[in-house]
Amino acid sequence: MTPSPFRLFPERASSMAAPVDHLFLFLCLLTFCISLGVAVCLIYFALRYRRKDALSKGAPIEGSLTLELTWSTIPMLIFVLIFYWGAKLYVALATPPQDALQVYVVAKQWMWKFQHLGGQTEMGELHIPIGRDIKLTLATEDVIHSFFVPAFRIKTDIVPGRYRTVWFRALRPGAYHLFCAEFCGTNHSGMLGAIIALPEAEYQNWLQGGKTTGSSAAEGEKLFAQLGCNTCHLSERQGRAPVLFGLYGKPVPLRDGRTVIADDSYLRESILVPAAKIVAGFEPIMPSFTGLLREEQVLLLLAYIQSLGGEQPAPAATHPELELR
């Protein structure tokens, strides 16, 4: 079906698109009504109480407790409603479902690279099945980028040195525009991509035909051995480094008394800057891999560690850049 040339918004192609639009339209309608009300009152009072002659004087006006309570209470209730509605939607957008299909995304001037857990890699295009929750773990190799899919109503900044997560569920087949919404250099306008949503059967066919050199976990295991990590991270506690089996998503006690969750961000930091958080009972002997590993390689190691077992970390709403538009 050909889209209408008078369409005000992009089509709603994800499960969260309609709730985002409803909040946005409510705010627009509320703003219009309040602005109209203020304009009407301004014109009415300007005409009703205008000075009729040079000798006329205004009558003294006494305060009204009822009026003051009314114009204080009603805006407060409106603001509470907006806060509750927005916070509830924000949490829903920032909390990926536990059983979501995971894809790693690496942004780089000026392209998008997608890594499926099955080993398939894509440049500029991401094939996903419709009707299934998709969780994206995003990283950048250089500057700040912003992952923006208007049809899905998702937008999140990707900050160097940190992982961001975003999720969506496509409702219908199609190819949907992907933009970088943060100026990232001279070719920023050319950093385009597409999310290609396929029916489940077509998606499975694509998976079978997609190029792969082995699953991400298998490639991560090879890299793990090549770097010599298995000489310290043994399967038993006699090793010189923490055991990785069953670690993912579990609490990790640190030497300074704190406890952290072994999620993607913690594991990435432990690979690149291992001295930042020392696990209780171990010495800071692990070398830093900053500058030695690309983001794709770090993501392969994370996929391997995740395959060793553990719990999916409970997602937290820690995405202040996420914009509901």
CA 232, CA 66: separation in Å to the nearest integer?
73
Mean pLDDT of 248-253: 88
Percent of the chain with pLDDT over 90: 41
**Range with lowest mean pLDDT among 48-62, 189-203, 273-287:** 48-62
CA 33, CA 41: separation in Å to the nearest integer?
12
CA 48, CA 309: separation in Å to the nearest integer?
75
pLDDT digits (tens, 9 = 90+) for 91-149: 998 888 888 999 999 999 989 999 888 888 899 999 999 999 999 999 998 899 999 99
Residue with tokens 């094939």: 127
pLDDT digits (tens, 9 = 90+) for 277-325: 888 888 888 888 888 888 888 888 888 888 887 666 655 444 444 443 3
Q: Among residues 279, 240, 275, which one has the least CA distance to residue 257?
A: 279
Q: Would you say residue 13 has pLDDT above 80?
A: yes
Helices marked H in 256-294 — which ranges?
264-272
Contacts (Cβ under 8 Å, ≥6 apart) of 188: 110, 180, 182
> Which runs of E-coded beta strand occur in the chain?
101-108, 111-116, 121-123, 125-129, 133-140, 145-149, 154-158, 164-169, 174-180, 192-198, 251-253, 259-261
CA 50, CA 261: separation in Å to the nearest integer?
67
Mean residue pLDDT of the chain comes to 85
CA 121, CA 113: separation in Å to the nearest integer?
7
DSSP 6: T
DSSP 94: H
Mean pLDDT of 74-83: 94
Q: Would you say residue 6 has pLDDT above 70?
A: no
Mean pLDDT of 9-19: 89
| Domains recognised in the chain with CATH numbers | 101-209 (2.60.40.420), 216-307 (1.10.760.10)
If pLDDT is split at 50, 70 and 90, which confidence band does 212 have? low
Count CB-CB contacts under 10 A for residue 221.
21
CA 318, CA 295: separation in Å to the nearest integer?
21
Q: Which two tokens stand for residue 166?
A: 């975003």
pLDDT digits (tens, 9 = 90+) for 31-56: 999 999 999 999 998 888 887 777 77
pLDDT digits (tens, 9 = 90+) for 144-170: 999 999 999 999 999 988 888 999 999
